[in-house]
Amino acid sequence: MTLLDHARAQERDSAAVAHEKDAKQGLLVQPKPPARAPKKSAQLDGFECSRIDGLARPLLVAKGSKGYAACAYITTDAADKFGEACVVFSGVATHEAFLDAPVAKASKAAKALGVKDGMPGRDALALIK
């Protein structure tokens, strides 16, 4: 072993010891665990479902042939302006949760189809399907 090889071996050993010390003190950058696949919502029968993750809560919309249902990120103001049937549910994290949640707000067009604020989501969805 040459003097240069010996010096390199000592450097590697010193670096390994310093690395272990840093690891014990939590000073090393830890690799991020692989990202989990976003939680998928099952499709509601007869609805085209869309989900946007990456927000505080997912943004959910389910479009039926007579109107659409959405989480509380959406308001009924635009639906009223365009004469569309819109049903809004609050506190939902999946499309399936629309079924059991009460209607928080309904647009004028949704109310004309028979949707009422507070009615079970399952019933409201049947009216805008």
**Mean of the per-residue pLDDT values of the chain:** 88
- Mean pLDDT, to the nearest integer, of 63-68? 96
Q: Which is nearest to 83 in space by CA: 72, 69, 70, 67?
A: 67
User: Is the pLDDT at 77 greater than 70, yes or no?
Assistant: yes
Least confident interval from 24-38, 92-106, 111-125: 24-38
Q: DSSP secondary-structure letter at 43? A: P
What is the model's pLDDT at position 45?
Answer: 87
User: Is the pLDDT at 4 greater than 80, yes or no?
Assistant: no
**Do β-strands 85-89 and 67-71 pair in parallel, antiparallel, or remain unpaired?**
parallel
pLDDT category, 20, cuts 50, 70, 90? Answer: confident
Q: Which is nearest to 90 in space by CA: 106, 76, 70, 110?
A: 70
Alpha carbon distance 98, 115 (integer Å): 14
- Please check whether residue 98 is in contact with residue 61, taking contact to mean a CB–CB distance below 8 angstroms: no
User: Is the pLDDT at 69 greater than 60, yes or no?
Assistant: yes
Whether the predicted model's global pTM rises above the 0.75 cut = no
Dihedral in degrees, nearest 10, Cα atoms 93, 95, 97, 98: 120
- pLDDT above 70 covers a percentage of the chain that reads 87
Residue with the bigger pLDDT between 91 and 4: it is 91
- Mean pLDDT, to the nearest integer, of 43-61? 91
User: Is the pLDDT at 128 greater than 70, yes or no?
Assistant: yes
CA 66 to chain centre: 25
CATH of domain 48-128: 3.30.1980.10
Domain boundaries, the chain: 1-31, 48-128
